[in-house]
Structure 1
């Protein structure tokens, strides 16, 4: 090639080389990342005045849209799938809850599930939260607004960094096992143990060592999982893997919530063998205070203690439920936990059902204006009536009945209007194996008041007749004999003893010894039913030689038991013998004979367990006839019963 031609070619090559260098440099100014592919150009040689430096996401880190470490995408569709597979838990009420429901008149709750079925069922306060789907059992795995300031970063957490200004980047970097992240062109940054509140400052200091005039924001992306343990009275105790943002409440939900005997008010967080906090769920439910709901760390233990003292609040309150106590609560506290009185509540009085070891269940009236500071204790049930119920006619109001003796749950009961004696017995759980139903004593206050009035009138009439008889007798004789004076003295003493005995208001129940059911008798407010144990004796009192109780033997007659007592004395009025049966009914010779004296005698009857045979004294006979107001008739006509006969023998 000639010299001019060679020179022209060399000139052309130099021009193209220069042009390519200028184009490459211009490209580098627009995309600094290309400098890494240009030999001989270092980071310090990159221009900073021509535009911002752009940092790219490292290929080893997860990018937006890629699957996370578990193989699931970041859209949380996996959690939605889990929601679709979720089965509503069956709620299992405790024994005390069943007792409170019975008092509230809730005998059966369909389904006992928490969402659609059994929505209005009376349960423990807070049960809908801890065993329902109203609370997400998994803490959010992404979102800075949900991360507490004291959250400590660790391996597995994903940090999102957004840079702008002289350097631009949108990075998602996972903290590796050594506790560090690698920021392109900045280097390794150690983050293990760094508080979330300090994260921005730590990263800003490292980036500032390489760049100037920038700003940044940081957040957490996917949060690492931690392994914790849930123990105590929970549905599913054991080890759990939960989000690093999970709290005590999340762990409780993930374990299925407390059991029927697990506490809602003593949920302990233990860390390294030390008690960190004792979370009271009522702080959240009643006051919206979640300060005790601490974020969990690896190897934490959440322990649910046994349930504490419990009470029930039913009736006209805004939230009838079973509540757990922490100690020293009052009636005012109980009403506050139940949301206060409803709009139709009776604001003057309420009733406390109290379990008593001696009498079983007792009822205590509460003045809501004076007694709010009174303590309320374990097993108490506070019932608030409604004004509408109080305004109802007496026939439609609830009835208070006491059931005692050989029943499963003796005590006081409030029963709906129209209830019968059988309903009262069923409310007390039915009979025990030792019960003697034929001997049941049913007393009624209205009957007692009526009996007292009539009894006093009968005694006054008897006293007047005895006085007239005594005057008549004195008119017939000039000087009364000693026996006549003694008889008058004895009559006066007997009248005094009769006045000391008061009617009980017993209503004789008309049913036989072999009957297994009480008669269908409607109850009234204040009624009392007492079921004794089966007696093993027959009692013989009155004018006999050896009064007392004799072992019952089936098949024996009343006359045989009179014989065991030595028979009637000479002063006995044999024609007025009567027997008081265990059910309160009375059979007498006078009644069987009628006014024509043609019936069979009482002594021939077959004896029954609990019979009381009484032989009266022949002291009130006037002339040749028996006084129609014989005192023995007074005894059984007014239901004074066997005890009165024993005292008057």
Structure 2
């Protein structure tokens, strides 16, 4: 009766197949379970090709297999808020160990992932076997083991196979075929495994009943259920069968040691129970695997170390910090020695273990810093001397290394206090050995102070490519070590805001000079800071200062037995201008007064060594009384030998003209133009002041205009005036009477940067300003000022004819007599090379008084520029 109902249902299904020929996987699966003869009869009845149905069956199996592979997906339970939080700074939080291993999200309760059938697989009801016969006849059968555990092969007697292993099944079928049929061979393969249902409960992501493969183990069951929750136990997972616990899985054995002996195979109806987590311990710091670990009652410190993978190489094990909950729910800190005291410590639930790293400082070593070829840390040994580390100037030092001054920074107490020892590298390599103590820091300095000086010197040396790369590597190492020191000692900022503020401060306070990395100022900065930090009442800061005529004036660390001579060596030695007869040491005494000590013959070492410097002494090296820097003056124009001449202080213009061979016969000494740098600077300041006052006055006039007053000022005119005034360059002209100077009636002492231009004979008169056509005219004796103005087209409407003045060829200015300046009696005042200036009437510019002043400056400077342009 049941068979008739199934056949009827299949007939209805096939009627649907024949109508649309789009069978579902369930319909194809039901068809495949029918005997071969009945399949052929149904296919023939409904006119469907049997091979097509079998192809659909194969495709359906592949689809099901793909669906099985996709039954587990990664968890994606993050909310919109959590996704937005991903953009925020991440805080380091410890996670429980092992929970992510099985993390997934099941998409259905369908059978899980397929697996290869092993030879010890136990055959059971529902398994499908594919039997292929070949020999005297060929046939292929896919057979399902029935509910009685029997396998029915067409044309052969049924055989009981349930409970056999896969290997035993194959052997049984081969024997049966060979015994019951002559000339037939057989090939046996698993076609489809039965499915079974297991319950997965407890602290799993999605507990419930799952259909899994008969090959599934406990870990597979955890995987298909989506893994474990955050409070699940990884060390006490139980498998229950018929109400009894048949196995317990400790996932730590599998994850830490690869031991899968507890991962037993499941049977249909089994229950996998995941209880809540037990006691936990938090481990962080210098360990190989930070996290939160679950403890069992019998766990020891050795098993805990195995859980977090051991310690990192830089772990500080003598005092490991353990935070533990003690009586009355209070926390206490205990220190555990993980080197010698492990037997006294047993981990306890709630412990928080923090393993710190050893201090990032190399001990029992020697450190080379500065202009050395290979900076860094070196092994210290007894009787180690400087010449054991630096053996060759060419191979072990950089080309810019200073051989006269080096220091050793030595720690003298457990509190980190230091002292400084000064020595000469040249002496140390010539037999005067300098022995080193443990943890000494040796500083080797550059012979230069600024980067520009050092780069120029290295360029002159024509360094090879390898030598240039060595320079860069040494600088990078030094900068890295400096940064490390600042981060630890000087509390270097960590946040972006603090970094930005510090960068701004550095930009504001950075000196104009680009100091070299190995210079005294750069390298000594941290040493002096350490000496200042350790100074107290009664223990003054161990530094001294050198000023005056030395190469590198500044503050230096005070070494033991520092003399005047060694102080001068620390400052780079004496300059050529230094006075060696004596120097002065200024010393502060206890009563607040100052004492001045005179040191004789500072260039002679025995005498200079007679005085030992003390803390905060200042050594002042004086300049030679007769010393001054060389002055450079420039002669151009009508001199016999024009050019640049070197003079000393006190030399006169008349003297340097004689050195230049005197004037040529074409020279016009009355029109000489003399410029001086000091006067040029004064003019620059005057122009800046005038420009600022003019801006204020224009702003005031603009405000008056806005409230209704009448004005003729326009924005374009005022803006042009300000731009013109800003573009004016100062000349620094000094008006001189060169004929009087050459006749020794007047005297002009020279200064550095002075310049003299002597033009040729002048034959013209120039007129500029408010005339219709500014030009130059051939000088004609007897021609008046009015005549020259008429030759230039006459005056403009805004010309101020009452303020016309004349600039003489030598730069002097005179104003003709107002009552008779057109008269002939003023003609003798005009000479060749003179310039007539017609200024602007300021009343045309809305009573802006500064316009007149500005215009006069423009005209006057214009005359000077025109004259110099002829050089």
> What range describes the TM-score normalised by the shorter chain of this pair?
0.3 to 0.5
Q: Which has the higher contact order (CA 8 A, sep 6+)?
A: 1
Which one has the largest radius of gyration? Answer: 2
Normalising by structure 1, report the TM-score: 0.43
Normalising by structure 2, report the TM-score: 0.33
